[in-house]
Amino acid sequence: MSSAKDVKGPPARGPEAAPGAEPEPPSGRDSDPEPPARGRGADPEPPPPGGVLWSLSGDIRALLMLPAALTLQVAHPAVGAGVDEHSVFRTDPWGRGERSLRSLQLWVYGGAEAAEEGRRLRVLHRTIQGTDTRGRPYHALTPANYAWVHATGFPVYQHAARYLIRPMAPAQERALYAEWLQVGRILGIHDRDMPQSIEEFWPYWEKMLAGEIEATTVVRELVDVDQPVPPPDRGPWPLRAVLRALWPVLLPPLVRFRRFVTIGLMPPDARAAVGLPWSAEQEKRLRRMCAVLRVVVPVLPERLRYLPRARAARAARRTAAPNG
């Protein structure tokens, strides 16, 4: 999950980054391109086919989880400042979203491309630095910042799955966390910079919520229903033309829904730490919506239930199974 910042990087280095792309500093003890234990030439493995992430991140319901993760990422003072100062999310929100989703899907379903995507993101962020919302210098490749961006995916997936899919059994939660650690390695995070178990993760999570997370400028923009959003600039031109004509009517309910799922699918302790309001009536509405999705989505044909890269990976796995 991806989502965290899309930056205005050097054009020759490819498109902007996806959620969660904040690796280590380019110098000092954390400067290794990959964790030393793996060594050069040994790329980290993506999460296993058939695992928890394999099923979860390609499901169309995962799209509803991403705004909560992204908002939590930019609630970190350094990450929020980096996005505020360097991101294209205001000028190119649809392109940013498309690139972010592509990157996240590569981490899980990309095979050999997963590690290459992780390296691309690291290169892209080498020049991103500044001063955070508390006046402290930051660099996009600082391990502590990157660890937070990556960390937000696990609690959001774990919490939102209770609503949209089903509560996870303890064994599934542990499997999800182990697979999320694998994603972290793909992104270039050293094991020493990530909590290595669920038992280590939750104290880290609570510490971050208590002392570091805040309602940054970007957080406020992401949940602001009055924030301007341009009409989509992707897809067939007739569809784009229709959306452009109807955009004044479509935008208000769209941004209200975005705020609703962003706050509603955020873990309650994180929601409280950021200071986002949520009422009992909103909780009832969220549960009703998710109850419908839990019934409808599983009976959809695969081409509608799964995102394109997930569908392709699932089909390739089925094809290879008789020979495996």
CA–CA gap between residue 170 and residue 30 (Å, rounded): 33
Report the pLDDT averaged over residues 115-130.
85
Residue with the bigger pLDDT between 125 and 195: it is: 195
Q: What is the pLDDT of residue 26?
A: 35
CB 154 within 8 A of CB 108: no
Residue 140 has pLDDT above 80, yes or no: no
The CA R_g of the chain, rounded to the nearest whole Å, is 19
Q: What is the pLDDT of residue 124?
A: 82
CB 290 within 8 A of CB 164: yes
Q: Please state at what angle helix 143-151 crosses helix 198-211, rounded to 10 degrees.
A: 110
Residue with the bigger pLDDT between 36 and 104: it is: 104
Q: What is the pLDDT of residue 323?
A: 57
Quick one: tokens of 315? Answer: 């089909």
pLDDT in tens, 54-105: 999 999 999 999 999 999 999 999 999 888 887 777 777 887 888 888 888 9
CA–CA gap between residue 304 and residue 65 (Å, rounded): 18
The DSSP output letter for 29 is: T
The band of 32, judged by pLDDT with boundaries at 50, 70 and 90, is: very low
Which runs of E-coded beta strand occur in 87-230?
129-131, 137-139
Report the pLDDT averaged over residues 184-206.
93
Quick one: tokens of 72? Answer: 């939590």
The band of 19, judged by pLDDT with boundaries at 50, 70 and 90, is: very low
Q: State pTM to two decimals.
A: 0.83
Among residues 131, 141, 157, the alpha carbon closest in space to that of 54 is found at 157
CB 307 within 8 A of CB 60: yes
Q: What is the pLDDT of residue 22?
A: 34
